[in-house]
Amino acid sequence: MPRHFEKRTLPYSPAQIFDLVADIESYPIFLPWCREAVIVERNGTGNVVADLVVGNYVFSDSFRSHVVLDRPHAITVTYGGGALKALSNVWHFDSVSQGGCEVSFLVDFTMCSFVMGALMNSFFDKAFGRMVVAFEQRALCLYGDKSSFLSQP
């Protein structure tokens, strides 16, 4: 099961980064390999069911995820069906003394297809590194340049 963990300090508030990550329907605009994102169900308690289509010119697959939104502290994603065998994805957003936000992100998943699993294993870390950069660039686009506060891994 591929697993990836990132921790970054960003110059935005926890609420801003939470809102960016929680805006699932905007993922196709800025996330590499996300071709479609649809909210299937939303309730008033902070739970969302979303269908995502991921892929590139060679492959494409879809999966459903159950998302628990605990604004502005955490987002937890679990598998709900489709191309994956298992999925666990947890985001935490914590205030830091400099006025920014420490973001920690863990993703752990297993593909149903052996071939897709082997393909993902071959470029897993690089792919998730690109996703992290995409979220940072989206924050810059939405919330502006805070260049005096540098992103720290």
Phi-psi region of 144 (alpha: psi -120 to 50; beta: other; left: phi over 0): left
**Residues 52 and 27: beta-carbon distance below 8 Å:** yes
Residue-wise pLDDT tens digits, 12-61: 999 999 999 999 999 999 998 899 999 999 998 889 999 999 887 777 88
Residue-wise pLDDT tens digits, 65-121: 999 999 999 999 998 877 777 788 999 999 998 889 999 999 887 766 666 656 655
Domain ranges (residues) in the chain: 3-143
Joined together, the tokens standing for residue 7 give 């921790």
Q: What is the pLDDT of residue 36?
A: 96
CATH 3.40.30.10, domain 3-143, yes or no: no
The amino acid present at 9, given as its one-letter code, is T
Q: Does residue 72 have a cis peptide bond before it, meaning omega lies within 30 degrees of 0?
A: yes
